[in-house]
Structure 1
Amino acid sequence: MTQPVILFSGQGAQKIGMARDWIESSATARDLANQADLALGYSLTEIMFEGPEEKLTATSHCQPALYLHGLIGLALLKERLPDFKPAAAAGLSLGEFTAHAAAYTFSFEDGLRLVSRRGTFMEEACNATDGAMAALIGGDEEKVRALAEATDVDVANLNAPGQIVISGTTQNIDAAVAQAKDFGIRRAIKLNVAGAYHSRLMASAQEKLAEELVNTIITTPAIPVVANFTAKPVGSEGEIRSTLTSQVTGSVRWIESIQHFIDAGHTSFIEIGPGKVLAGLVAKIAPSATVISIEDQASLDAAVEQLSQ
């Protein structure tokens, strides 16, 4: 079996009912879910199963929910395919923490604590600032950066060719949306988000997360993990702490991250997370790559069958 690169979802992929069929049917999944509920001091799984939407969407809840979902999916895949070992890992924004946990950079519990605190810190930063984000469709990076400079906003996510997200104060994002066509950008869509993620408005969250990372035991990843901030594999303890900290206000360089894998000869990917967002992005970045998406029992069964061939 050619070992694929494993990719983990970012915030926004969460949905009510996530991981329910896994947790109800698998002792392995239940054990991880129970560990999470115990470590957090509240029932994360209840929020994942029942919502309501606003509760699950809250940054402090959806980040640990996606982390748990990703690691349950990986554990069940490995249970079904004992010889499965990913070639490398990456994750979109929050998903980078899941990727590190999958690579044993830190323990399941330590990673859960980090993403829970990260979510809380980002929620606090959102509440303390008036921030917004917008997706820019059909504009190259140079044009987007020119618009961002003109309107004093930050480039948050370089998701796929022609799909870049900007982040900043609501006033400046509104100005950028209004002026996008003047910069040769086909379409600008303001996003329904709680604040300005991956921008300077998250500085307070970044500082607090840095303190949490200092107190976290970090080891060399067992497989290469590509960081959002550098779009390169990270190895040393200092580099991992630095990239996970910088990512809070820095750009998510997803296009370059996927391109790094392609350039290294990896053309097979597995996405673990609700929906198929990452599969869609990879298809735009590297049309010849193959992506298997795993989000529930049916897609897990299909993936196991495909990977067994």
Structure 2
Amino acid sequence: MNAVLLFSGQGAQKVGMGQDLLNAYPTAKALIEQADAALGEPLTKVMFEGPNEELTRTCNCQPALYVHGLACLAVLKELVPALTPVAAAGLSLGEFTAHAAAGTYTFEEGLRLVQKRGAFMEEACNATKGTMAAMIGGSDDAVTALAAECDVDVANFNCPGQTVVSGTEEGVDKAIAGAKAAGIKIAKKLNVAGAYHSRLMRSAQIKLAEELALVNFGMPSIPVYCNYEARPVESSEDIRLMLEKQVCGSVRWTASMQKLIDQGERLFIELGPGKTLAGMMGRICKEARVISIEDVESLQAAVEELKGM
């Protein structure tokens, strides 16, 4: 059966992620242990034991989510050999996981890229005073106009009625204050370390571009949708450019999912902690089915559901 693979972004992580998968499935155990060996440090200790503040650090949560998403996928493919992925997409960091799933680069190459991306973004957060705010119940046009007025950027177009702005604390506070007048129902600051997907990440983008230049990208085995332009990537150079521009650019998730829906895709599998992407899809297309997998229990339920289709 055909399905689109979706991978979680930063913010989905939680302490304990992946531990039951490692204990239950040798495939997951091998992949997770390979990650520790490749990084030369016990990422799994932070994933399994925390503390939460340590796992939430950008340099830790990005590789943790990458490894967790691919471990979920590896076991799923083993248990449901009839599953045929037809496309892949990931929210922000998840776009890197999607490329690993599609064979654009090896597991270890992607892991090293993601670790560096997380470290560069953490450095940029520490060097700038930035924040983000969710804008709920307003149009994309209203949020875009408000962001321009307050000299901040639109970080995420997540789903209809849910947009995120990012930038200086002063600019984001101004946007929150002006939200009601712009027709936005709720505006609330997010608990984040910095201004992701904004111009304040410029130093991280420049450093990541240097790392991306060293990677030999293959063409993915299935279409991988990029956040920056909401379309499938077309060449090695295109992949490199889209992954670079994504650091400061907007995540156009609604547009990406809408394109897949327009092509007739209705079955999606979310790989990663929580059900954030399933929730967003509920606002993008009511007819789409999203099966969320994050642990042994949800994996077994997904296997039963997929085998029954």
Q: What TM-score do you get using the length of structure 1 for normalisation? A: 0.99
Shift of 1:196: 0.1
1:83-94 alignment, distance < 5 Å: 83-94=82-93
**Structure 1 residue matching 2:20: 3-state secondary structure:** helix
2:50 matched to which residue of 1? 51
Superposition CA RMSD, Å:
0.6
Residues of 2 paired with 1:166 and 1:186: CA distance?
15
Deviations 1:207-239 (A, max 9, x none): 111111110110000000000001000020000
Residues of 2 paired with 1:239 and 1:299: CA distance?
35
CA contact 1:272–1:295 (8 Å) conserved in 2: yes
AA of the residue aligned to 2:66: Y
Residues of 2 paired with 1:75 and 1:219: CA distance?
20
1:243 matched to which residue of 2? 242
**Structure 2 residue matching 1:230: 3-state secondary structure:** coil
2:113 matched to which residue of 1? 114
2:134 matched to which residue of 1? 135
Residues of 2 paired with 1:195 and 1:221: CA distance?
31
1:37 matched to which residue of 2? 36
Residues of 2 paired with 1:25 and 1:276: CA distance?
22
Residues of 1 paired with 2:29 and 2:216: CA distance?
25
AA of the residue aligned to 1:263: D
**Structure 1 residue matching 2:220: 3-state secondary structure:** coil
AA of the residue aligned to 2:18: A
CA contact 1:153–1:169 (8 Å) conserved in 2: yes
Deviations 1:77-116 (A, max 9, x none): 0111123221100000000000000000010000000100
Q: How many residues align?
A: 308
Residues of 2 paired with 1:145 and 1:77: CA distance?
39
2:4 matched to which residue of 1? 5
CA contact 1:4–1:269 (8 Å) conserved in 2: yes
The answer for unaligned runs of 5 or more in structure 1 is none
Residues of 1 paired with 2:111 and 2:15: CA distance?
19
AA of the residue aligned to 1:101: A
CA contact 2:3–2:83 (8 Å) conserved in 1: no
Shift of 1:288: 1.1
**Structure 1 residue matching 2:134: 3-state secondary structure:** strand
CA contact 1:134–1:165 (8 Å) conserved in 2: yes
AA of the residue aligned to 1:225: V
**Structure 2 residue matching 1:220: 3-state secondary structure:** coil
Q: Is 2:21 the counterpart of 1:22?
A: yes
Residues of 2 paired with 1:182 and 1:81: CA distance?
51
Residues of 1 paired with 2:260 and 2:276: CA distance?
18
2:220 matched to which residue of 1? 221
Shift of 1:41: 1.3
2:193 matched to which residue of 1? 194
**Structure 2 residue matching 1:4: 3-state secondary structure:** strand
Residues of 1 paired with 2:129 and 2:80: CA distance?
47
Residues of 2 paired with 1:59 and 1:14: CA distance?
11
Deviations 1:191-213 (A, max 9, x none): 00000000000000001111111
Q: What TM-score do you get using the length of structure 2 for normalisation? A: 0.99
The answer for unaligned runs of 5 or more in structure 2 is none
